[in-house]
Amino acid sequence: TYWNKGAAMIWIKEQLRPSAKILYVGDDRTDEDAFRISQDGISIRVGHSEESVARYFLDAQTEVFEFLVWLIGRV
């Protein structure tokens, strides 16, 4: 089996219950495979890219922590 981040995401999704939602955050082109697999969840690219299939974008890696704190406050 050829492993990349998308293949890893497929394996992880298979281990979870069907109703589980995926949150994937990445900052480079090697994350694009995982963004494609995560389309039914939340996909976030750090650093805007016109070519990215991520659903959402953050400007900088420092914003990831702020986003997670915000998200935890909503759960």
pLDDT given for residue 1 in this prediction: 60
Instruction: Give the residue with greater pLDDT, 57 vs 18.
Output: 57
Q: How far apart are the first and last CA of the chain?
A: 36
How far apart CA 62 and CA 46 sit, in angstroms, is 9
How far apart CA 3 and CA 14 sit, in angstroms, is 15
| 19: pLDDT strictly greater than 90 | no
Neighbours of 12 (CB within 10 A): 15
Give the pTM: 0.86
pLDDT confidence of 18, banded at 50, 70, 90? Answer: confident
**How many alpha carbons lie under 13 Å from residue 65 in its C-beta half-sphere?**
2
How far apart CA 75 and CA 23 sit, in angstroms, is 14
